[in-house]
Structure 1
Amino acid sequence: MMNAAMLLLADGRFPAGGHAHSGGAEAAVRAGRVHDAGTLAAFLTGRLHTTGLTTAALAAAAADDGADLAALDEAADARTPSPAQRATSRRLGRQVLRAALAAWPHPALDRLRAAHPRGAHQPVALGTTALAAGLTPAEAAAVAVYESVNGPATACVRLLGLDPYQVAAVLARLAPQLDAVAGAAAEAARRGELPAASSPLLDVYAEQHSSWKVRLFAS
């Protein structure tokens, strides 16, 4: 049976701040790498299997009751080489915790906020929120992988004026891969073997984007 809290947490209207970020899509659009539904699908696929896998495993690990959240935050930091992305991740983590404390008050959220007053990394905050909401590590991973593609896809509707129906179809065709990556991330977290898949081009895009004076999205 589907956990309703999982749907709420994955909903783009949940006030976790993600709507203001493109996940690298804005820079990819300007670079000409994303310009239609086909190139969007390629971009999302690459993001899913790198950043998506890594953040989902971190979220799954943080959703395990008794997780060492300080160690996980350090692991997230080590897996985020771009200073701009690190700042964005902590800013989003701070926003996630703010929303989570209002929706699902929990001692783990209080401890995480106290330990990181400027914001824990977003996947760690997301996983801790999942724990507070009564979700399993596997469900936390599923939310994380969905966020890894849905945010950039939605951003491209605004950036390129893509047909929302075509974008929805791109996401639907990716669904089996989302399930597979979420499963792999949850299993990696269970074994304590967190992946470190990376996308150097996204790091480059993040640094470029942070220097722009005019932009539609915060990152």
Structure 2
Amino acid sequence: MDASLLLLADARLPAGAHAHSGGVEPAVTAGAITDVPTLLAFLHGRLTTSGLVTAALAAAANTHATHELGTRTPDATASNTIAAHTHSGCGRRAAANVAAGAGVGGGWEVLDGEADARTPSPAQRRASRAQGRSLLRAVRAAWPSPVLDALVPLGPHHPVVLGAATAVAGGGPREAASVAVFGTVSGGASAAVRLLGLDPLAVHAALAGLADVMDAVAAEAAGYAGRPWAELPAASAPVLDLDAERHARANLRLFES
């Protein structure tokens, strides 16, 4: 993975991720997470439900941003953009969309609406948009692009920004999905260490055990790149939704979500 994409995945990126636990804090409050094994079970469940949805949205946004990059640049530059996205099967599919000059389902508002439809909890929608705005500020400073500027009025969901930023940084749908998947588990794991005082070595060993699942989810999510947005996965996690609403009403909390 290129250095630019590693920067996107870095928790030290000043995008406000440290203020969000990905549902871990309300799960700790509810007694669902008490140690490393229960944390691992929680992260596995989140990864294969809302994590898959997030990664697929990021992959779709990446494909759309790649198309936008192609339409906003001269032919020679567009050709270079296409070439930069042909290092994987999903990248070749995204490049084909750019070469054809075809959109994937509408404008950014439509894709953001798809994210809304797949986020039933109002609290989670607010958190996703807050993270999206913070990430957008950071990536516009690091990788200035008219494609990212176009997202500002929308105040979009986090995976929409992440997918667009990955495209601007030179990555394809698989990279966008991988960064999204990594964020799904790493943020929650870090929050659990802070909330429960867990051994960081044991937590990272548990994350290493999830690597194959993370790769599989990223590959599945990237497979949706270039497909109609209505076909994006809509896996649900009702307990996460209910916990998010309770957490939003809590008087005392360390994390925003």
Shorter-chain TM-score tier:
over 0.9
Q: 2:143 aligns with which of 104, 108, 121?
A: 104
Aligned to 2:236, what secondary structure does the other structure show? coil
Tell me the amino acid that sits aligned with residue 160 of structure 1: L
Tell me the amino acid that sits aligned with residue 209 of structure 1: H
Partner of 1:15: 14
CA distance in 1, matches of 2:109, 2:253: 33
The answer to whether 1:201 aligns with 2:200 is no
Instruction: Encode CA deviations 1:142-197: one digit per residue, 9 max, x unaligned.
Output: 00001011111100000000000000011100001000000000002233331001
Structure (1 or 2) with the larger CA radius of gyration: 2
Partner of 2:182: 146
Instruction: Encode CA deviations 1:53-104: one digit per residue, 9 max, x unaligned.
Output: 0000000110112253221100000001101001111111000100010000
How far is 1:137 from its partner?
1.0
Tell me the amino acid that sits aligned with residue 234 of structure 2: A
The 5 Å alignment of 1:54-203 reads: 54-64=53-63, 65-66=66-67, 68-114=107-153, 116=154, 119-192=155-228, 193-203=231-241
CA distance in 2, matches of 1:170, 1:106: 38
What RMSD, in angstroms, separates the aligned Cα atoms of the two structures? 0.9
CA distance in 2, matches of 1:7, 1:25: 24
Instruction: Encode CA deviations 1:13-71: one digit per residue, 9 max, x unaligned.
Output: 01111111001100100111100010000000000000110000000110112253221
CA distance in 2, matches of 1:166, 1:189: 35
Tell me the amino acid that sits aligned with residue 71 of structure 1: V
The answer to whether 1:5 aligns with 2:4 is yes
TM-score by length of 1: 0.96
CA distance in 1, matches of 2:49, 2:55: 10
Moved beyond 3 Å, runs of 4+: none
Instruction: Encode CA deviations 1:100-155: one digit per residue, 9 max, x unaligned.
Output: 100000111011113x1xx2001001111111111111100000001011111100
Partner of 1:211: 249
CA distance in 1, matches of 2:174, 2:145: 20
Uncovered stretches (5+) of structure 2, i.e. residues with no partner? 68-103
CA distance in 2, matches of 1:40, 1:195: 24
CA distance in 2, matches of 1:44, 1:78: 23
Percent identity over paired residues: 59
Uncovered stretches (5+) of structure 1, i.e. residues with no partner? none
Question: What count of residue pairs does the alignment treat as equivalent?
Answer: 215
CA distance in 2, matches of 1:151, 1:213: 22
